[in-house]
Chain A
Amino acid sequence: MRRGPLLVTFLSGAAIVALFFIPHHRAQEVNSKLLEWTLVVYAFALILGSISLWESHARKVRARADGWGYSIVTLTALAVITALGVWKGVAEDSPVGTIYNTVNAPLASTMFSLLAFVIASAAFRAFRARSVEATLLLVTAIVMMIGRVSIGELISHRLPGVTEWLLDVPNLAAKRAIAIGVGLGAVSTALKIILGIEQSYLGRS
C-alpha cells in the first residue's frame, strides 16, 4: 500500500522522460495517449476543486463562522453562474458573458489597480537611502521609473538608452544565473520525486 503511489510516480515519471527522447511513432502514440489521460485528470481536478469549494463554504455557513455572509455570496455565484453557463452558454452575448464583462472584469481590474495606491504610499515611507546598497537601489529605481515611460524621453533622449543598458547588461547577467539555477533545481527536484526520495506530495515529511 505504502509503495503503490511511489511505484506509480516512478513508472509515470520514467516513462514520460523516456518518451520525450524516443521519436519512434509507437512511442509517440503512447505519449499522446498519456497526454489524453492527463487532460482527464485535469478535468477531474476542476470538478474536485469545485466540490471542495462548495463544501468548504457550506461548512462555514452551517457553523455561522466569521464571514459566513461572504460564503453565501460565493456559493450563490458558483451555483448561478454554473447554471446559467449550462443553460445559456458562455459566449460574449450570453448572460454569463454579460456578468463576466460587467462584474468580474471590472472587479478583478480594480483589485489589481489598488496596488498603484499602496505602492505609492509604501515607496514614500519605506524607500529611503539609509545605506550604500539602499542608495544604489534607489537611484536605479528612479532611473528605471522615469526612463521606461514616455516622459523620460522628454527629459533626456539618453535616458531610455541608460535603462536599456541596465536591462540588457546587469539585469540579463543576473537573470541568466537565476535561470540556470532554477533549471538545475527543477531537474534535481523532479529526480528526487521520481526516485521516491522526496515524498512530501504524499503528505509525508
Chain B
Amino acid sequence: MGWIQRLLAIDRRIIFLLVFLGVAIPLLVPVNLPVTPTPRVRAAYEAIDALPAGSTVLLSMDYEPDIMAELLPMSVAVIRHCFRKHVHVIAMTLYPAGTGLGERALTTAAQAEGAVRNRDYAWLGYKSGFQVVMIGIGENLRGMYPVDFYGTPLDSIPVTRHVNRYSDLQMTINLSGSSAADYWIQFAQGRFHSPLVLGCTAVMATDYYPYLSSGQVLGLIGGMKGAAEYERLVGIFGDARRGMDAQSLVHVIVVALVLIGNGALFASKRWGQGPGPR
C-alpha cells in the first residue's frame, strides 16, 4: 500500500483525536480571536439597545440542553444587555427540559448585573403548546400563566403586574433551537404586531433571513458566532467568545482534512493507485 492509500485509509480515531485537541486546547488556553459583529447581530443589539429604561420585554428561551452550547451564552448576553439598559425581562420556555437552562441563564445574568428577581425580571417557566401559548399571550397572559415558576401570582410580581398581552410589552425576543421561531413570527409578530428579535442555532439561521429582509424580524443572532458577536457588542467575554476559538480551530481542521482527502484522491488517480476507500 502506497502512502496515498494509507492517507486515504487513515484511522478515524486519528481524526477524532485531532478534533478533540482542536476543541480542548483553545478552551484551556484562550486565544481570543477577533470577532466582528455582522449587520444582523448589530441590528438585534441596536433594537434592544433602543428600548427606553423601564420597558418590558418577553423572552422565550425555547431550547433544551443539546444545543445549550450555542444558545445559553446567547441568552446570558441578551439578558445582561437588558439588565444594563434597565429593561425588565419576563422570561418563559416552551420546552419542558428548558426550565433549568432558562433559570440558569437568568440567575447568571442577574448575578453579573446585580438584578433582582421580580423587581427586574420574572421567570414564568414552561407551558406546553407552542401556538396556543403564543396566541394566548396575545389575548390574556394570565390565562396561560396565572402564576410564575415559583407559584407567585403574576399580580403580586412588580414586573408582571401591569402586563397582560403583547401590546403591554415593548418587544418579544425568541431564542430558539426549533420551529418555535416560525410560530413566534406568525403569531407574536404577524398577528399581534409585537416587535421581534430572534436568536437561533447556526444551522437554522439562514431559514430566517427572509423575515429579516422583510422587516418582520428586527435582528437575528445566529449560533455561537452570533452569540460571540453579541457578547462583543455588550462588552463581555463570555462562553461564546471562548467557544469561538475552539470552533475556529475545528473548522480549520475539517477544511484541512477535506483538502488532504481530495489531494490524495487526485494524486491516486494521477499516479494510478486507484481512488482509495470512500
From 81 to 112 in chain A, residues with beta carbon under 8 angstroms from any chain B beta carbon are 90-92, 97, 100-101, 104-109, 111-112
Q: How many angstroms from the CA of A35 to the CA of B129 in the assembled complex?
A: 10
**Shortest distance from the beta carbon of B275 to any chain A beta carbon, whole Å:** 9
B66 and A100 contact, CB distance less than 8 A = no
Q: How many A-B residue pairs have CB under 8 A?
A: 166
A138 and B248 contact, CB distance less than 8 A = no
Q: Which residues of A contact B133 (CB under 8 A)?
A: 39
From 108 to 145 in chain B, residues with beta carbon under 8 angstroms from any chain A beta carbon are 127-129, 132-133, 135-136, 139-140, 143-144
Q: Which residues of A contact B101 (CB under 8 A)?
A: 105
Closest chain A residue to B256 by CB distance? A124
Q: Is B244 located at the chain interface by the 8 A CB criterion?
A: yes
Q: How many angstroms from the CA of A141 to the CA of B257 in the assembled complex?
A: 13
B36 and A176 contact, CB distance less than 8 A = no
A39 and B129 contact, CB distance less than 8 A = yes
Closest chain A residue to B244 by CB distance? A150
Q: How many angstroms from the CA of A97 to the CA of B100 in the assembled complex?
A: 7
From 132 to 184 in chain A, residues with beta carbon under 8 angstroms from any chain B beta carbon are 138, 141-142, 145-146, 148-151, 153-154, 160, 164, 167-168, 171-172, 175-176, 179
**Shortest distance from the beta carbon of B124 to any chain A beta carbon, whole Å:** 13
Closest chain B residue to A143 by CB distance? B255
Q: Is A127 located at the chain interface by the 8 A CB criterion?
A: yes
Stretch in A5-13, A60-68, A115-123 touching the partner:
A115-123
A123 and B251 contact, CB distance less than 8 A = no
Q: Which residues of B contact A42 (CB under 8 A)?
A: 128-129, 132
Q: Is B236 located at the chain interface by the 8 A CB criterion?
A: no
Q: Which residues of A contact B67 (CB under 8 A)?
A: 112
Closest chain A residue to B247 by CB distance? A149
A91 and B149 contact, CB distance less than 8 A = yes
Q: How many angstroms from the CA of A126 to the CA of B39 in the assembled complex?
A: 34
Q: Is A32 located at the chain interface by the 8 A CB criterion?
A: yes
B245 and A92 contact, CB distance less than 8 A = no
A160 and B210 contact, CB distance less than 8 A = no
Q: Which residues of A contact B260 (CB under 8 A)?
A: 124
What 3 pairs between A and B have smallest CB-CB spacing? A150-B33, A108-B65, A105-B65
CB within 8 Å of B: which residues of A?
A: 20, 28, 31-32, 35-36, 38-39, 42-43, 45-46, 90-92, 97, 100-101, 104-109, 111-113, 116-117, 119-121, 123-129, 138, 141-142, 145-146, 148-151, 153-154, 160, 164, 167-168, 171-172, 175-176, 179
8 other A-B residue contacts (CB within 8 Å) besides A124-B257, A127-B261: A32-B139, A35-B135, A105-B100, A108-B65, A123-B254, A128-B265, A142-B259, A160-B36
29 pairs of residues in contact across A and B, judged by CB atoms under 8 Å: A32-B136, A39-B128, A39-B132, A39-B133, A92-B100, A108-B65, A108-B66, A109-B65, A109-B66, A112-B67, A116-B19, A117-B19, A120-B18, A121-B15, A123-B261, A125-B261, A126-B278, A145-B254, A145-B255, A148-B225, A150-B228, A151-B249, A154-B34, A160-B36, A160-B38, A167-B209, A171-B209, A172-B206, A172-B209
